[in-house]
A and B are shown apart, each in its own frame.
Chain A
Amino acid sequence: MAETAHDIIMHDVKRSVVLELLRRGKRMDERALDEYRPISVQRDVIDTAEGSALAKIGTTQILIGVKIDLATPYGDRPEEGIFSTNCELLPLANPSFEAGPPREGSIELARVVDRGIRSAEVDVDDGFTKGFFLEEGKVLALYLDIYVLDHGGNMTDAASLAAMAALSSTKIPKYEDGKLIRNETASMLDIKRFPLATSLAKIEEFLLADPTMEEKVACDANITISTTKDGNVAAMQKGKGEFTKQDVLDAVDVAFKKGDELRKYIL
């Protein structure tokens, strides 16, 4: 979307308001700098999906549905299953969302969430798609759909939280005579490292966790860092602006701490 005169003016206005408050040690909604808005996670909310969860962070509400289907493996990985992530920013989720083919925002969101999960749970020796081989030319495919119902800022962390809640409660249907028996469960999807995204916004010397839409607009730079339960960084995505090495390491420290806090909602 092109930047309009309105956007430019609003950026200046929001930045000065946000910054003035920060210098007095406050955020617009009275949170501490590294404090998240209220969080809730509910699993198994969609009966037709093999796995599902609804996560809320503040007013942001994101639904994840996981479907498992039969598929033909990729030519270069004939004995491995398929993992695919897609994101739909429903037009009912925000007045600025328009219906139509996916734009860069929803594609980036899907890819950032995908990358954290893929690094920690798929592209590893004990990755879950390794167990998706059925017989020659036949594997399981897992489709993770990010369904944004209400966008009140920081979609990435809510999507990642909902995704891990959904995946860790995903039932793999029984496979028999070349078909999936969807009302019988063969096993649960085995999730080991629980990668979770933590998004941070930097405004001058301040580093804010779980930025609201105003803070995101006002910030100088932003970054999303996925951390795992066993203490690894699994994915990073810098947004706008610039970070020094020390900024990055400071952000990683916050991400580990916040990641562990978020994981309590799903472990």
Chain B
Amino acid sequence: MSEEVKLIVDGKRRDGRALDELRPLKIEAGVLHEADGSALVHWGGNKVIAGVFGPRECLPKHEANPYKALVKCRYTMSPFASKEEHSRSGPNRRSIEISKVIRQVFESLVVSELYPMTQIDIYVDVLQAEGGTRASAITAAAVALADAGIPMKDMACGLAVGKAEDQIILDLGKEEDNSGQSDVPIAISHRDKKFLLLQMDGLLSRDELEQALDMGIVASDKIHELQVDAITRRYSNLESDGVEL
């Protein structure tokens, strides 16, 4: 970076947050009519929508597993999701990798043995992006799966921890992601606090990593609360107003 911009001044970040503070997070379940389950997540400047179908017939049929359902995931980004140039729609190398790691989160959670020979499709689309889209995607997908009534062993909370200005921070925004020192996207199961997604770039010492993971575990409880609240609201009022962006 040519311009030196301080990401943290006096323990406060550029948007006024404390080091361990989440951006505003809002979750709405059941926003789509055609999908079996759906959720919309507003998280800072991210707007992410998830839709789930299934269990339904596995296609192509030769992929079907006689012992369990296949979990499939497709993460994409809208061509207008970034403040910068228009981008091509559909998957690219980045989104294909993210689709795979999100799928692996839910392969660990969905009780797929209940539905042999079928597939469960998770579609997530980032309508508007501002850093931390995969965390938003996982948080949304987990709620959409619950909304679809698909049995899961536990709930997944997606979030990111990292490091900027030599300090460990929670829920990196776009700027902190781009010019911070490290970014660690994670997904944590709520009950047993296991890491279902763990990626990292940048440099962290062993102690810093431990501190970051602990910060993530604490924050995941807050995210879980909002997920449960979204599903509770959904089932106390089945009339949906649809998507509110």
Residues of chain A touching chain B, judged by Cβ–Cβ distance below 8 Å, are 42, 45-49, 52, 54, 56, 59, 61, 63, 65-67, 69, 86, 88, 90-95, 99, 101, 141, 143, 145, 147, 149-152, 182
Contact = CB atoms under 8 A, between A and B. Distances in A.
A35 to B, nearest CB: 20
B128 A48 contact: yes
A92 B34 CA distance: 8
B33 A59 contact: yes
A86 B49 contact: no
B85 interface: yes
B125 A92 contact: yes
Given A46-B127, A149-B243, A65 B80 contact: yes
A46 B243 CA distance: 13
A48 B83 contact: yes
Instruction: Determine which residue in B47, B56, B85, B90 has the highest number of CB atoms from chain A within 10 A of its CB, and name it.
Output: B85
Nearest to B32: A150
Given A48-B80, A48-B83, A59-B33, A95 B243 contact: no
B142 to A, nearest CB: 15
B136 to A, nearest CB: 14
Nearest to A62: B243
14 contacts: A46-B80, A48-B83, A61-B243, A65-B127, A67-B79, A86-B89, A88-B79, A91-B74, A91-B123, A95-B35, A95-B53, A141-B86, A150-B32, A151-B34
B50 interface: yes
A214 B67 CA distance: 36
Contacts of A46: 47, 78, 80-81, 127-128, 245
Interface residues of B, number: 39
B32 A69 contact: no
Contacts of B125: 90, 92, 147
A18 to B, nearest CB: 20
A141 to B, nearest CB: 8
Contacts of A49: 80, 128
Contacts of A91: 51, 74, 121, 123
User: Binding site of B, secondary structure by majority: helix, strand, loop or mixed?
Assistant: loop
Contacts of A93: 32, 34-35, 51
A63 B245 contact: yes
A179 to B, nearest CB: 12
A86 to B, nearest CB: 7
Interface in B99-120: none
B99 to A, nearest CB: 10
A113 to B, nearest CB: 16
A145 B245 contact: no
B34 A145 contact: no
B241 to A, nearest CB: 9
Contacts of B217: none
Given A52-B80, A65-B127, 11 more contacts: A48-B80, A59-B33, A59-B242, A61-B32, A63-B243, A88-B78, A91-B51, A91-B123, A141-B86, A145-B86, A150-B33
A92 B32 contact: yes
B212 interface: no
B85 A48 contact: no
Contacts of A145: 78-80, 86, 89
Contacts of A61: 32-33, 242-243
A151 B53 CA distance: 14
A9 B82 CA distance: 46
B79 A65 contact: yes
A95 B34 contact: yes
Nearest to A96: B34
A150 B243 contact: yes
Contacts of B74: 91, 99
A47 B45 contact: yes
Given A69-B86, A90-B123, A92-B49, A47 B128 contact: yes
Given A61-B243, A63-B245, A143 B79 contact: yes
Instruction: Determine which residue in B38, B76, B80, B130 has the highest number of CB atoms from chain A within 10 A of its CB, and name it.
Output: B80
Contact of B81 (A42, A45, A48, A54): A48
B82 A48 contact: yes
B129 interface: yes
B245 A92 contact: no
A54 B244 CA distance: 9
B80 A59 contact: no
Nearest to A51: B80
A91 B36 CA distance: 12
B123 A92 contact: yes
Q: Which 4 residue pairs are nearest across A and B when measured between Cβ atoms? A: A92-B51, A65-B80, A45-B245, A67-B86
